[in-house]
Amino acid sequence: MAAAAPLDTDVAVVGAGLAGLTAARRLEQAGADTVVVEARPRVGGRTLSHPLDHPAVRDGESAVLDLGAGWLGPGQDRVLSLVGELGLSTHPTYDEGDNLSEHRGRMHRYRGVFPRLGPLMLADLTQAQLRLDRMARTVPLDMPWTARRAASWDRQTVAAWAARNLRTRGGRALLQLAVEAVWAAHPADLSLLHVLFYIRSNGGFDALTSVRGGAQQERVVGGTQALALTLAAALRRPPLLDAPVHRVTVRDGRVELALPGGRTVRSRRAVLALAPNLLARIGFAPELPALRHQLHQRMPQGTVVKCHAVYPAPFWRDRGLTGQVTSPAGPVKVTFDATPPGGSPGVLLGFLEGRQARSLGARPPAERRRAVLACLRRYFGEAAARPDQYLDHSWAAEPYSGGCYAGYFPPNGWTDFGRVLRPAVGPLHFAGTETATTGYGYLDGAVRSGETAAAAVLAALGGDPAPAAGPPPAARR
């Protein structure tokens, strides 16, 4: 049987996550014919919203569980602007009442970001946070490897820095909890320089760990995947799904993508909107530069399992609780109230992160469920032990994700490979939250990276892409 004729276009975008779809939207708005190809059978990348089917869902409400990225916050201007442009809206994360903290087997109520479990511990953690913020302000976002102390900071892990700079065991435990919650990795996994860059990229340590005024402040009504679904529905050409790219060939000034079944897409430029670890699975001809190729092997994803327990109502609110828990013991170390905006059913969201996710993520689902519910029972009492529904999602088990929330650098990553993370290689441009200077690791970084890649492609095309074929169809919901 003859091979299918190549699909020719101005720009091919690989990856239908928020970065790739934002790039495609901007390219189409500028008149460039664009084709998006996606390995998964869906759009959304590291966003995934699961419809919540429960009798307590209010009539007419679109209730979902965000199994992937789920929050937006102040300062994330580009993604918040996109929410408005697409006609979507947000609602606040529930944050009324007291938080809970488990310490030495006892639950303590508190308000604010960190529990007040003793003046020495709190002072220890506060001074560590202030030092990290102060160091972070010296890291250039566009070239972190040029910071004055970059070599020293990149040689050490966050765990090594904490061992030298925090004096109390409790302070070190709380810092570890915060690191695991933000990066889904153990402090021993992470370069200190990477953490400092990330802190500056996202407006400070407080912004990373806070709900009100922080990165966990808002949720998208209908789920964050609605952003990708709406973007994809408005494109002139629907994304090609179930189409993993096996090989990228640059020949005679054209890019050729090899897809399953002998299909090919040919373009003048390509945007590879994938996390670096996923690019290691694609063959390139000619081969990418050695440092770029090695970068793909040096940037693992965090490890996280998002766990949702659904109840008839958010019973913890009646006790004056926010639903937020911190526990160094775990294995669920952080929880939030993920109840739909209508107020029912009640949903508790718990995270397995880093080593806890690696361990329990490999166990049978029933065993993982028992471990999670045992934690929720410890935190919230018997009512939490018997949810109506339970659903979790392991991102490390997704072949086209390989983890979440974002790729990170271990020691020596930024100084050895950072300079090849963002620049194009010939007609190949790179996007994804890992290439962002602002909003790195978040949806805002993904949007910014897509816009940056689209601008670079248009500049390379000389502002004269082929005219688009007619007006875009009406958005399909």
- Split at pLDDT 50, 70, 90, the class of 112 is confident
User: Bridge partners of 8?
Assistant: 266
Which tens digit of pLDDT belongs to each residue from 368-388? 999 999 999 999 999 999 999
Please name which of 2, 53, 47 lies closest in space to residue 20, comparing C-alpha atoms: 47
**How far, in Å, CA of 295 to CA of 288, rounded?**
11
Helix (H, G, I), strand (E, B) or coil at 141: coil
Query: Which tokens sit at 241?
Result: 């799904």
- Tokens 């002139």 sit on residue: 236
Helix (H, G, I), strand (E, B) or coil at 373: helix
Residue 165 exposure: Cα atoms within 13 Å on the Cβ side: 17
**How far, in Å, CA of 245 to CA of 337, rounded?**
38
- Split at pLDDT 50, 70, 90, the class of 175 is very high
The yes-or-no verdict on residue 402 having pLDDT over 70 is: yes
User: Bridge partners of 300?
Assistant: none
* pLDDT the model gives residue 118: 80
* pLDDT the model gives residue 115: 76
Q: How far apart are the first and last CA of the chain?
A: 37
Could you tell me if 12 and 271 are in contact, meaning their C-beta atoms sit under 8 angstroms apart? Answer: yes
Could you tell me if 96 and 322 are in contact, meaning their C-beta atoms sit under 8 angstroms apart? Answer: yes
Please name which of 109, 107, 102, 114 lies closest in space to residue 171, comparing C-alpha atoms: 114
* pLDDT the model gives residue 105: 86
Q: Which is it for strands 218-220 and 304-311: parallel, antiparallel or unpaired?
A: unpaired
Which tens digit of pLDDT belongs to each residue from 198-226? 999 999 999 999 999 999 999 999 999 99
The yes-or-no verdict on residue 242 having pLDDT over 60 is: yes
The yes-or-no verdict on residue 471 having pLDDT over 90 is: no
Could you tell me if 344 and 313 are in contact, meaning their C-beta atoms sit under 8 angstroms apart? Answer: yes
Percent of the chain surpassing pLDDT 70: 96
The yes-or-no verdict on residue 450 having pLDDT over 90 is: yes
Helix (H, G, I), strand (E, B) or coil at 381: coil
Query: Which tokens sit at 167?
Result: 């004096």
Query: How does the average pLDDT of the chain come out, rounded?
Result: 94
Tell me the pTM. 0.94
Lowest-confidence pick of 69-78, 99-108, 291-300, 458-467: 458-467
Query: Which tokens sit at 183?
Result: 């990066």
Please name which of 367, 378, 363 lies closest in space to residue 333, comparing C-alpha atoms: 378
* pLDDT the model gives residue 470: 33
The yes-or-no verdict on residue 305 having pLDDT over 70 is: yes
Which tens digit of pLDDT belongs to each residue from 150-172? 999 999 999 999 999 999 999 99
Give the mean pLDDT of 313-342. 97
**How far, in Å, CA of 180 to CA of 161, rounded?**
15
DSSP state at residue 383: G
**Length of the chain (residues):** 477
In this structure, what are the phi and psi dihedrals at residue 143, rounded to the nearest 5 degrees? -145, 75
The yes-or-no verdict on residue 475 having pLDDT over 70 is: no
Percent of the chain surpassing pLDDT 90: 91
DSSP string, 307-359: EEEEESS-GGGGGTEEEEEE-SS-SS-EEEE---TT--SEEEEEEEETHHHHH
Burial label, 106 (beta-carbon count in 10 A; 0-12, 13-18, 19+): exposed
Phi-psi region of 224 (alpha: psi -120 to 50; beta: other; left: phi over 0): alpha
Alpha helices, H only, 104-235: 119-136, 150-155, 158-165, 169-183, 192-201, 205-209, 225-233
* pLDDT the model gives residue 188: 98
Lowest-confidence pick of 27-36, 52-61, 240-249: 52-61
* pLDDT the model gives residue 3: 64
Axis crossing angle, helix 158-165 with helix 169-183, rounded to the nearest 10:
160
**How far, in Å, CA of 66 to CA of 47, rounded?**
7
